[in-house]
Structure 1
Amino acid sequence: MRHCFALDLRDDPNLIARYEELHRQVWPDVVRHIREHGVLSMEIYRLGTRLLMIMETDDAIFDADRMARAAETNAAVRQWEDLMWRFQAPTPWTPTGQKWMPMQRIFDLRQF
């Protein structure tokens, strides 16, 4: 299944450059955590300060809540998320305490 999420970055060119640099060398424990929870592929795109993440998941394995709970007990993932939050900012539509927000698909060419 495909999932799309949005998140913003802090509007600081130096922070954005560092965020992109860190994503060229994501920690192996973080990558392992993502894959172990049924994420088959993940891409992040940026336009200005807005990020778009596209994930393809194996529906037989992927459970977002289970993945989030496992992240809470994984020291490396917690450390990565704390580091990322230095660069990230919630979108105007993000509830307090949340990060990546699911986007609603409004068009699919395959329907036509």
Structure 2
Amino acid sequence: MRRFGQVIRIKPDRVEDYERIHAAVWPEVLETIRACNMRNYTIFRHGTLLFAYFEYIGNDYAADQKKMAADPKTQEWWSHTDPMQEPVEGGGEGEWWTNMKAIFHTD
């Protein structure tokens, strides 16, 4: 199992919309997240910074991410959420959510 931490910014005028839509995530989107081997997926907000945490239990992260990106319902979901977000400075080329470096963990 791999742990991921990711960050992105939310546009200040879209905070309420973002929280509202995430209060009722579409079941098909949740099914795709699970089918792509992501568990314990959580998004936190501090001001305009969003922090996502999830655990990946699969064997091919890149393939599972492609599978997620190809899902029509997930694409529709992203068509609503992406305009509310903007990548943080210093992210990698082509990254929307920026992966963070893990520096500490304890069970």
TM-score interval, smaller chain: 0.7 to 0.9
Separation of aligned partners in 2, 1:102 and 1:68: 14
Separation of aligned partners in 2, 1:5 and 1:54: 7
2:6 partner letter? F
Residues 1:67 and 2:95 are matched in the alignment: no
2:88 partner letter? T
- Do the aligned residues in 1 keep the contact of 2:8 with 2:88 (CA within 8 Å)? yes
What is the Cα deviation at residue 50 of structure 1? 0.5
Map 1:17-56 onto structure 2 (within 5 A).
17-56=16-55
Larger Rg: 1
**Number of residue pairs matched?**
106
- Do the aligned residues in 1 keep the contact of 2:7 with 2:98 (CA within 8 Å)? yes
Aligned to 2:75: 78
CA RMSD of aligned residues (A): 1.8
SS at match of 1:46: strand
SS at match of 1:86: helix
SS at match of 2:9: strand
1:78 partner letter? Q
Separation of aligned partners in 2, 1:38 and 1:7: 22
What is the Cα deviation at residue 109 of structure 1? 5.7
- Do the aligned residues in 1 keep the contact of 2:36 with 2:68 (CA within 8 Å)? no
Query: Which TM-score applies when normalising by structure 1?
Result: 0.83
Identity, in percent, stands at: 25
Query: Which TM-score applies when normalising by structure 2?
Result: 0.87
Separation of aligned partners in 1, 2:101 and 2:61: 17
Q: Which runs of 5+ in 2 are unaligned?
A: none
